[in-house]
Chains A and B, each alone.
Chain A
Amino acid sequence: MENVATPKPAAGAIPGCDNADSGLLVRKSSGLVREMGLRQALAVNIAGVNPTGIGFFFFVILQGFPGTDLTLPIVIALVGALVLSAVYSQLIAVMPRSGADSVYASRTIHPAVGATVWATVISFGVNSAVFGQQYFPFVFQTLGEVFHSHSLTTFATTLSGKTGALIVGLAVLLVIGALMTRNVGTIGRFIFWSFIVATLGALILIVEFLLHGHGAFVHAFNHTVGAPTAYTQLVTAAHHAGVRTGVSSSAVWSSLALTSVLFVGATWANFSGGELRRPGRNYRISTFAGLAVMFVLFFLSWVTVEHMVGLSFLQSSAGLSAVNPAAYAKAAGSVTAYLPSYGLLVAGDPVSKILIAVGYAAGILGLEAVFALILSRLLFALSFDRLLPTKVADVDRRFHAPLWAIAITMILGTAAHVLTIETTILSVFRNAVLITFATFTIAGLTAAILPYRRRDLYQLAPRMTGPDVFGLPMVTIVGSLTALYWGFLTYLAAVKTQVNGGYSTASVISLIVMALSGAACYLVSRWWLRRTGLDLHLAMQELPPE
């Protein structure tokens, strides 16, 4: 977003002085810089693949794909995320604007395709923005146990209820909304420190998994449940409930789709691309660094928890808690199936327990801030292109932030939150993940054709993916690979109920509406503007320099 970036003397633009580093000879003139640096981009990218995922996604994947082992999917998902990041780094270098996929697809393929992409991203973001409240009871429960505080554990129970969840969710949205009125640097710092605290919690969790052998866990679990054979009983109960354990190649491949979701957040700094200094370079470094950090965290977490808890037990507890929660409660007592709770079972000292719990909360807050940042910036970009009313792009004089875009983001988030708590209506959007995968496929295709569709822009931008091979631009090769990989995942998402959530008439209709709403919005905006004789497509029309 250009208009929060701040003019100041460019390198060497100080009257009478040249900046030796720039190598330029300058005259007296004004200059500008972009505002978000490498650290902020790193913060956005890393928080997008928040360590909170360790507790959440592993559990969801094990539930959804009985018979999977995540070791191989984590490695393959990393490769898929790396090619996607390489593609985005080139696209952002060529088109350094906020709005990500909608900008790239609009300018390279067609504005209607770009509009379709943004509608999906918004629906994904709104849906995702409301999940944070689900995990706070766990945090207070843990703190209550550590401090032997009945009030905290009671409070945790209250938060688990409908009213409690509603209040917590609204409070989180309020905090995030207030944060969004700050500049991106401040938001970036918040996200960065959230990540640091969350990572600390995750590292402690890994250390706990690593330091305790399988026997120690079995003993701790049995002790907590209050039955000498509780561990075995839970596995047996799972078998009786029809939960499949062991490893099957079909389940491993199928789980790749959801495992890939773990890493896609590493690409999210492109939504603020217009605010990035040296966008291509900073984006690539921050993304690759984020992926490296997160791979280490995810991989170590998985390997160590598998070592300590045992794959069969992990699969049994995740599966049983899904297919028969009552049987799970009977077998596991108060121990939840989330992975961090297993860490808490064996953690001896209260400090570790507190850090694991607080890290979890910090990670959730950081992730919510990322979602809000993405959505508000996307709305701003769309308004700037006149796909939404121009009012949405207004930047408030006092806060120097797009308050209308932020307000809409918060209203959408609040509505989604209330609807999630009070109704099941949002379940009609469960197939949205399909278009999310399709979005990344489109990103790959966009990059593949970029050197041919937007040759002039491509030639002017630095090469982020590498030199040409036999005259074929590297971005075309990497883009094609990306499109193939994410296309395959789109296929998996389409055929696997565990990924798409299952089809119903309402969900299919909502899927179609989502897919077409962006294009419809584009056409309506175009019609509206055409009444005055202007055509919306001109906003993105490339001017031939020759």
Chain B
Amino acid sequence: MALFRRAHTPRNAGAVRWFFATDVHGSERCFRKFLAAGRTYQASTLILGGDVAGKAIVPLTRQDDGRYLFRRHGRDEFVTATHLDATLEQLKDSGLYPVIMSGDEVARLGSDHTYRTRLFERLITEQVENWCGLAATRLEDNIRCIITPGNDDLWCLDEVLRKAERVECPERECISVGRLVLASLGNANRTPWDTEREFDEEELEAQIDQMLAHLDNTARLVVNFHVPPYASGLDTAAAIDDQFNVVIKNGRPVESPVGSTAVRAAIARYRPVVGLHGHIHEAPGVWKNGRTVCLNPGSDYASGVLKGALVQFDADGRYLSHLLTTG
């Protein structure tokens, strides 16, 4: 019978699994799920690929009757002190920063740009510090946790992440992860929103080259570039006019690729095995370019759902497969 048995090593023997998620935008729930992904998905490396910080503050003002007033989904809502904590949790889970404040303070935040910016900095920094603390207590020792910023993240975030005990922030660096090399870049090409980390394509290209040009062998290279490659299908978004309205032509929104040409050129030039991207929440998918498999898991952070991608590599660091997840 032995004649008919083939002695072979399974393709996945000694395989390593990474979990990649992106664009959680301040959602407490999504981040907690991210930390649980290592154990649940049996992933040895967790990567959060940018746009970590939230985007909006929800002011709650105390009323004379002891209730708190805030607006959600465009409607006034009142919450009693008894249910306040639960409401605050819900708002945080959706990626919002609920803050109890007076009416005067709300007015000042509306008119004083500097004041508002400082409050955002404080809230974002506090949240990410808390998250890093949570990572230290929750992550198993054998799981690596890598968090890099995205174009929507304030610059001050890098320092918080770099100081963290159990989190690595190799922004604009190449690091070894087992047999693989991970290169990370959170900067993006220009957007209509003039966000925190935007550069011209030439500048992006230079930043990428600075990271990758010295690599002798890119057969084990994984790029964690927040912005997806141009015209890859992972970057399809609506065209927007000067007033931030979606451009409608012949009764339909005009859609166009908004990814980075520099990222696309880098993928063609350096031929990484895998590209991990985010940025465009509503364009999740897979794009294959030669040997490179580019993934954008998309984002649905406001629903508290963590979209992600599992990537399986063999013991030698070769790409085996992937799976887009909804956790």
Bound-complex Cα distance A541 to B39 (A): 12
Bound-complex Cα distance A362 to B177 (A): 60
How many interface residues does A have (CB within 8 Å)?
Answer: 66
Kindly specify which of A112-120, A510-518, A526-534 makes contact with the partner chain.
A526-534
Residues in A whose Cβ lies below 8 Å from that of B284 = 2-3, 384
Bound-complex Cα distance A8 to B90 (A): 24
Residues in B whose Cβ lies below 8 Å from that of A185 = 251-253
Instruction: Please tell me if the beta carbons of B238 and A6 are within 8 angstroms of each other in the complex.
Output: yes
A residues 24-82 touching B (CB-CB < 8 Å): 24-32, 35
Residues in A whose Cβ lies below 8 Å from that of B236 = 3, 395, 397, 400
Instruction: Please tell me if the beta carbons of A14 and B11 are within 8 angstroms of each other in the complex.
Output: no
Bound-complex Cα distance A456 to B58 (A): 23
Instruction: Please tell me if the beta carbons of A532 and B11 are within 8 angstroms of each other in the complex.
Output: yes
Partner of A543, one of B36, B73, B251, B255: B36
Instruction: Please tell me if the beta carbons of B244 and A9 are within 8 angstroms of each other in the complex.
Output: yes
Kindly specify which of B1-9, B215-223, B304-312 makes contact with the partner chain.
B304-312
Residues in A whose Cβ lies below 8 Å from that of B193 = 9, 13, 15, 28-31
Residues in A whose Cβ lies below 8 Å from that of B102 = none
Residues in A whose Cβ lies below 8 Å from that of B76 = 23
Instruction: Please tell me if the beta carbons of A21 and B326 are within 8 angstroms of each other in the complex.
Output: no
Instruction: Please tell me if the beta carbons of A31 and B55 are within 8 angstroms of each other in the complex.
Output: yes
- What's the nearest-Cβ distance from chain B to residue A514, in Å? 26
Interface residues on B, range: 35 or more
Instruction: Please tell me if the beta carbons of A532 and B244 are within 8 angstroms of each other in the complex.
Output: no
Per-position contact with B for A368-400: 1 when CB-CB < 8 Å, else 0?
000000000000000011100010011101001
Bound-complex Cα distance A393 to B295 (A): 13
Instruction: Please tell me if the beta carbons of A543 and B306 are within 8 angstroms of each other in the complex.
Output: yes
Instruction: Please tell me if the beta carbons of B298 and A3 are within 8 angstroms of each other in the complex.
Output: yes
Kindly specify which of B108-116, B139-147, B158-166, B168-176 makes contact with the partner chain.
B108-116
CB of A538 within 8 Å of the partner chain: yes
Bound-complex Cα distance A341 to B17 (A): 65
Instruction: Please tell me if the beta carbons of A397 and B233 are within 8 angstroms of each other in the complex.
Output: yes
Instruction: Please tell me if the beta carbons of B321 and A529 are within 8 angstroms of each other in the complex.
Output: yes
Instruction: Please tell me if the beta carbons of A395 and B285 are within 8 angstroms of each other in the complex.
Output: yes
Q: Which of A11, A27, A546 has the most CB of B within 10 A?
A: A27
CB of B325 within 8 Å of the partner chain: yes
Bound-complex Cα distance A390 to B325 (A): 14
Known A-B contacts A3-B284, A5-B282, A386-B324; A18 and B110 likewise in contact (beta carbons under 8 Å): yes
Instruction: Please tell me if the beta carbons of B12 and A531 are within 8 angstroms of each other in the complex.
Output: yes
CB of A233 within 8 Å of the partner chain: no
Instruction: Please tell me if the beta carbons of A35 and B326 are within 8 angstroms of each other in the complex.
Output: no
Query: Of all chain B residues, which has the CB nearest A189?
Result: B251
- What's the nearest-Cβ distance from chain A to residue B196, in Å? 7
- What's the nearest-Cβ distance from chain A to residue B28, in Å? 8
Residues in A whose Cβ lies below 8 Å from that of B253 = 6, 35, 183, 185
Residues in A whose Cβ lies below 8 Å from that of B255 = 6, 183, 400
Instruction: Please tell me if the beta carbons of A28 and B233 are within 8 angstroms of each other in the complex.
Output: no
CB of A215 within 8 Å of the partner chain: no
B residues 212-268 touching A (CB-CB < 8 Å): 231, 233, 236-238, 240, 244-246, 251-253, 255, 257
CB of A16 within 8 Å of the partner chain: yes
Bound-complex Cα distance A544 to B304 (A): 11
- What's the nearest-Cβ distance from chain B to residue A22, in Å? 6
B residues 20-66 touching A (CB-CB < 8 Å): 25, 29, 32-34, 36-37, 40-41, 55-59
CB of A186 within 8 Å of the partner chain: yes
CB of B128 within 8 Å of the partner chain: no
Known A-B contacts A27-B116, A533-B321; A97 and B240 likewise in contact (beta carbons under 8 Å): no
CB of A226 within 8 Å of the partner chain: no
Bound-complex Cα distance A28 to B37 (A): 30
Q: What DSSP secondary structure best describes chain B's contact surface?
A: mixed
Instruction: Please tell me if the beta carbons of A539 and B233 are within 8 angstroms of each other in the complex.
Output: no
CB of A348 within 8 Å of the partner chain: no
CB of B194 within 8 Å of the partner chain: yes
Residues in B whose Cβ lies below 8 Å from that of A186 = 251-252
Bound-complex Cα distance A31 to B59 (A): 20
Known A-B contacts A3-B298, A540-B326; A24 and B57 likewise in contact (beta carbons under 8 Å): yes
CB of B303 within 8 Å of the partner chain: yes
Query: Of all chain A residues, which has the CB nearest B39?
Result: A544
Per-position contact with A for B61-96: 1 when CB-CB < 8 Å, else 0?
000000000111110100000000000001001001
Residues in B whose Cβ lies below 8 Å from that of A189 = 251
Query: Of all chain B residues, which has the CB nearest A26?
Result: B56
Instruction: Please tell me if the beta carbons of A460 and B303 are within 8 angstroms of each other in the complex.
Output: yes
Known A-B contacts A35-B253, A533-B15; A11 and B300 likewise in contact (beta carbons under 8 Å): no
Bound-complex Cα distance A16 to B90 (A): 26
Instruction: Please tell me if the beta carbons of A538 and B325 are within 8 angstroms of each other in the complex.
Output: yes
Known A-B contacts A2-B284, A543-B306, A545-B33; A11 and B196 likewise in contact (beta carbons under 8 Å): no
Instruction: Please tell me if the beta carbons of B33 and A544 are within 8 angstroms of each other in the complex.
Output: yes
Q: Which of A35, A189, A385, A532 has the most CB of B within 10 A?
A: A532
CB of A422 within 8 Å of the partner chain: no
Per-position contact with B for A294-320: 1 when CB-CB < 8 Å, else 0?
000000000000000000000000000
Bound-complex Cα distance A36 to B301 (A): 19
Bound-complex Cα distance A6 to B256 (A): 10
CB of A7 within 8 Å of the partner chain: yes
Known A-B contacts A30-B152, A397-B236; A534 and B37 likewise in contact (beta carbons under 8 Å): no
Residues in B whose Cβ lies below 8 Å from that of A468 = none
Instruction: Please tell me if the beta carbons of A539 and B231 are within 8 angstroms of each other in the complex.
Output: no
Known A-B contacts A30-B191, A186-B251, A532-B12; A543 and B74 likewise in contact (beta carbons under 8 Å): no
CB of B211 within 8 Å of the partner chain: no
Query: Of all chain B residues, which has the CB nearest A103?
Result: B326
- What's the nearest-Cβ distance from chain A to residue B89, in Å? 10
Known A-B contacts A22-B71, A35-B253, A393-B285; A544 and B40 likewise in contact (beta carbons under 8 Å): yes
Residues in B whose Cβ lies below 8 Å from that of A31 = 55, 193
- What's the nearest-Cβ distance from chain B to residue A170, in Å? 26
Known A-B contacts A2-B284, A395-B233; A23 and B238 likewise in contact (beta carbons under 8 Å): no
12 A-B contacts, Cβ less than 8 Å apart?
Answer: A3-B236, A3-B283, A6-B237, A8-B245, A13-B55, A26-B56, A29-B55, A32-B282, A96-B303, A534-B310, A538-B310, A541-B41
- Nearest 8 A-B pairs (CB), nearest first? A23-B71, A533-B12, A6-B238, A543-B327, A532-B321, A543-B33, A545-B32, A532-B320
Beyond the given A6-B255, A9-B244, A23-B76, could you list 13 further A-B residue pairs with CB under 8 A, ordered by the A residue number?
Answer: A8-B244, A18-B110, A25-B57, A25-B59, A29-B195, A185-B251, A185-B252, A397-B236, A532-B312, A534-B320, A540-B326, A543-B33, A545-B36
